A and B are shown apart, each in its own frame.
Chain A
Amino acid sequence: MQVQLTINKKQHTLNLKGNETLLEVLRDHLSLTGTKTACQETECGTCTVMINGKAVLSCITLAANVQGEEITSIEGLAEGDVLHPVQQAFIDHGSVQCGFCIPGMIMSTVALLQKNPNPTQEEIEYGLDGNICRCAGYPKIFEAVREAGKKMIK
């Protein structure tokens, strides 16, 4: 079947069987390998992308079901050379260790801050609880989220 997807503001026409997840389409069909997965069963948050501004797990989203929706992956956050404030904050605050969880963590953060740029510590913790960082760099991730939020208000 032919499927039309809007990913990072770009139109893609794909020939799919219909049972492909959005994760598979991003990584295997479009070579957008910035989106990772660590479990493929909704438990780790690593595959998080945004659909219409909401954080969504791409490992259980059927690609054919999100035609016409606004899909954003980690590759679509920066504007040219200029990083999104969340991306920049993750670098500046040393929030990245191995980095494998970070694309998903950043997508969850952007979704959280777009709704609520000044979250409380509790709101940050709940907002990111679906995303595992096994290096467990959480304190520096929390710092980055707070600082990025301040920049997004400005």
Chain B
Amino acid sequence: MALTTKSKYADNYVDPVGKSVPRIEGRGIVTGQLKYVFDVQMANMLVGKMLRSPHAHARIISIDTSKAEALPGVKAIVTAKDTYQIKFGSNEYFFPHTVDQMALESEKVRYIGDEVAAVAAVDDETADEALRLIDVKYEVLPGVFEIEEAMKPGAPQIHEALNNIALILPVNFNNPERMMKEADLVREDKFWCPVAHPSPMEPHVCVGQWETFTNKITLWSSSQAPFKCREALAKTLKMDLNDVRVIKMAVGGGFGGKLEMLPMDFAACLLSKKAGGLPVKICLTREEEFTTTRRKHGMIYKVKTGVKKDGTILAMTGEVLADGGAYCSYGPTVLAAAMMRIFMVYKIQHFKMTGYRVYTNNPISGAMRGFGGVQSGFAIESHMDLIAKDLGMDPIEFRLKNITEPNMTTVNKMILTTNGLRECIEKALVASDWANKHGKMKHLKRGLGIGIAADVMGSKMYKSHESAGAIVKVEEDGSVYFFTGAADTGQGSNTALSQIAAQELGVSFSRIKCKSGDTEITPFDTGSFASRVTFISGNASLLAGRDAKRQILEIVAKDKNLDVEEIDIRAEKVVFKKDARLIMSFDKALELCYSFHYGKQIIGRGSYNPKTTPIDFRSGEGNVSGSYGFEAQIAEVEVDTDTGVVKVLELWDAHDIGRAINPQSCEGQIEGSLAMGLGYTFYEDLRFKNGRVLNPNFAGYRVPRSIGIPKMNSIMVETNDPEGPFGAKGMGEAALLPTSAAIANAVEDAIGVRIKELPITPDKIIKALKEKQGTQ
């Protein structure tokens, strides 16, 4: 029986990889039909809300919930008494002592917003009223809010850590002190990298449901890492992993902020249990989003470099002080990344840098797109330009002298294989007309600046492995179901991974139906972070496609008495490898698999764990990633010296992405990163006073909007990494790393002043111009 007589796919076949196929979710998005957790409505669903500390630092004396419980419409209230009081954190594999946060605090609160209780009620107003009726008595403690103050002996003690230093991270290689003495020039700089906030458009939102009779939990969560969330929930609720199901729906952006379980996820489940199993939805307000989720670490970045006259870097030393806020979150690895990314970019043999992650009574720092690299990108790439200037060298010539090369091992044992950094610099140089513009537009108050960067394609964070799995299931009518644990948060991974699976299986992209990010149905995946998904989950997708294909080919080979090694599926057809001669169509092959004789289900599986070595945080050694990505970025600016306003005229980003699986999505990632980089350079600055966020809304905290987006040029450099799926590398973060420095460098080229403290505001420009006039 022929289920299909003619394939609608074969006639329109094009290779899926390398094509800008539209987003799988596109039609759902533009019609408003795509469902986010934000949109979930269920019968008898309760409104959950968190009770938060109004104090930056206080001891909890008592919590009285009796009045709130008596309020009609209140269905459940939970406090720490209802929990096992098990701490959770995000770097438990490498830094177990930094697991330091309770889902609900009972002894102390450490920042304004710290969770002490949660309520579930029939509606919004009742939940709000219940929060007001919970009586918490506090003994207010002195707080500490500045990094250097918190480190002083005698400062208010926030956790047990001595001098509030949660972590000291030394990175030492060879003998920088000796090499500094041999240097012709030593330069030292200090930078301030402010606090940005991910602030995705869909706030943190979850629906928790506890089936009270079976003791199973389902959490619908707007998450970048559903499996990580499952693990933290199971651990803190003392349940088995398989008792907890985390379902990721469409996610309205994450940018690092949705990488962890938050107390709200935990509370929604516990409230549901107390309410007899009714679903409980907790959705943060924008103010809660800005004040109680996760933010970028503010960093004081001090760096000193010794160079030879010819521009060769001999040694680098430095110190990084990071404002961690009340809890550790992903802080330890963010700090490590902020110090160690440089080894991917520059050949440095003698190095000593020490990082301090310091507790303060400010909101919690954690992961945000760029993961420490935005801060180091600004500091290091500004510093490099300053050294080049001292040497009287062109900043590009100086960089080309010191950058990493293909097929080399760095001082900290990172193995760089394909490395398109040189090509990226050269392409950006040509595209921006550097030779004719740099240093030659001062009369117009215009300038050009460069920044370069590199990024990992994954990194171990909370487990000993970072594997991804995928399943390709081919049905008898030829439909292909593709299951991935990867969490698409808007970057387009469902689409890109489906393209990879389709390409490897040898079929049209439109056959694929993608199911992703459900811990009970899809294979395990550590999550969307560290630009890992295209590379790691992509390899799993490729292997699943290959496995399914092999199963089909084995049936065809058996039936036609052929050697399975000599046949393949290409472009919807089973063919001979050597001359592409047709054996049968893909649809016919599936009919054969599911025929009377064979009845063979086609279920391909793929599992991929990158070839890395665990990083040793005592030394900083380790090949953290299976592949590395590179880029060079050039900014052209014009400065109005009367008002101090800097206008970015154009940006060029040349990016070694290995291979573009979906060029349009790659451009989207680059353009989005550049815009986010513009925001960090000019206005994204979450400010605190005594631990209180001063600008917790989009009016006070400006993010990039349509006005002020300059022309952006994405230049893809394809190095075809042999380890990547079809040569691809990840690329979700790198383009954000050097933007601030490229702009600061361009400002100096235009008007001769240097801004070392972000954001670059008009008043800083005016002040710097005045100081410059004063010194002349």
Chain A residues in the interface with B (C-beta under 8 A): 27-28, 31-36, 38-41, 43-44, 46, 73-75, 77-78, 83, 87-88, 90-94, 96-103, 106, 124-126, 128-129, 131-142
Contacts and interface: CB of A to CB of B under 8 A. Distances in A.
Contact of A39 (B26, B29, B697, B705): B697
B157 interface: no
14 contacts: A31-B41, A32-B32, A33-B32, A40-B285, A43-B698, A73-B32, A74-B30, A75-B33, A91-B23, A99-B25, A99-B490, A129-B706, A135-B668, A140-B664
B253 interface: yes
B163 interface: no
B30 A96 contact: yes
A154 B668 CA distance: 29
Given A138-B704, A141-B706, A94 B251 contact: no
B35 interface: yes
A74 B698 contact: no
B31 A34 contact: yes
B697 A139 contact: no
Of residues B26, B27, B38, B491, which shows the largest number of chain A Cβ atoms within 10 Å of its Cβ? B26
Given A40-B285, A98-B253, A129-B706, A137 B672 contact: yes
B199 interface: yes
Nearest to A78: B31
B649 to A, nearest CB: 13
Nearest to B670: A139
A39 to B, nearest CB: 4
Nearest to A103: B32
B368 to A, nearest CB: 12
A135 B490 CA distance: 8
Contacts of B665: 94
Majority SS at the chain B contact face = loop
Nearest to A76: B32
Contacts of B250: 98-99
Contacts of A41: 286, 697, 699
Interface of B: 20, 22-23, 25-36, 38-39, 41, 199-203, 250-253, 255, 285-286, 489-492, 664-665, 667-668, 671-672, 674-676, 679, 697-699, 703-709, 712
Contacts of A96: 23, 25-26, 29-30
A35 B25 CA distance: 16
A98 B489 contact: yes
Contact of B200 (A33, A98, A142): A98
Contacts of A73: 32
Nearest to B491: A97
Contact of A99 (B34, B679, B699, B708): B34
A131 B251 CA distance: 18
Given A39-B698, A138-B671, A102 B286 contact: no
A136 B31 CA distance: 20
B28 to A, nearest CB: 8
Given A31-B41, A33-B41, A100-B252, A134 B27 contact: no
B280 to A, nearest CB: 17
A77 B250 CA distance: 22
Contacts of B492: 97
A77 B252 CA distance: 22
A134 B664 contact: no
B31 A125 contact: no
A91 B26 contact: yes
A121 B39 CA distance: 34
A55 B32 CA distance: 17
A38 B706 contact: no
Contacts of A75: 31-33
Contact of A36 (B23, B33, B202): B202
Nearest to A83: B30
Of residues B30, B31, B489, B667, which shows the largest number of chain A Cβ atoms within 10 Å of its Cβ? B30
A134 B30 contact: no
Given A74-B32, A94-B665, A134 B706 contact: no
A134 B286 CA distance: 14
A87 to B, nearest CB: 4
B675 A138 contact: yes
Given A90-B30, A103-B32, A124-B706, A139 B712 contact: yes
Closest 9 CB pairs of A and B: A34-B32, A98-B490, A100-B252, A136-B675, A99-B29, A74-B32, A43-B698, A94-B664, A33-B39
A138 B23 contact: no
A138 B33 CA distance: 22
Given A75-B33, A125-B707, A140-B664, 20 more contacts: A27-B39, A28-B41, A33-B38, A36-B38, A38-B203, A38-B698, A39-B286, A41-B699, A88-B30, A93-B664, A98-B251, A99-B25, A99-B28, A100-B36, A100-B38, A100-B202, A134-B200, A134-B255, A136-B676, A138-B709
A138 B706 contact: yes
B252 A36 contact: yes
A142 B712 CA distance: 12
